[in-house]
Amino acid sequence: MIKNVPIKFHQQTLLDIVNKKFEGRFNYFYLPKDMRTQKGVGFAFINLIHPAYIIEFFLEFHCIKWSEYIQNCNSTKYCEISYSNVQGIEEIKAELEDKYAMKKEEGQPIFNDN
């Protein structure tokens, strides 16, 4: 779980940042947004496909100050990486099966079945 994501970030914005070093290393990514404001809710989910990638991801992103990491970002937030309550791609799919996130046209969770 990626916490303290600036609310102005769109799913694609954060995905582009993650893909710079972790493209092909995850099979699920989702940055939920508030349906009323159409802005992020401050956290995102990612499922890395190998345990070794977790350490690399943690070292890359945990405690970074978004404004120092990303050009033209004025957020004062620091990224926090933590475990989510739901672990593993099959469990994630089961959890989301009947959720609204899977039914909306735009901003759906991204699944990469490698």
Cα(31)–Cα(106) distance, integer angstroms = 12
**Per residue in 8-26, pLDDT tens?**
888 888 999 999 999 999 9
**Per residue in 55-75, pLDDT tens?**
999 999 999 999 988 888 889
**Higher confidence at residue 109 or residue 25?**
25
CATH architecture of 2-111: 2-Layer Sandwich (3.30)
pLDDT of residue 111: 87
Query: Which strands form 110-111's sheet, in the order they lie side by side?
Result: 80-81, 2-3, 43-48, 26-30, 110-111
**Higher confidence at residue 39 or residue 114?**
39
Cα(18)–Cα(93) distance, integer angstroms = 21
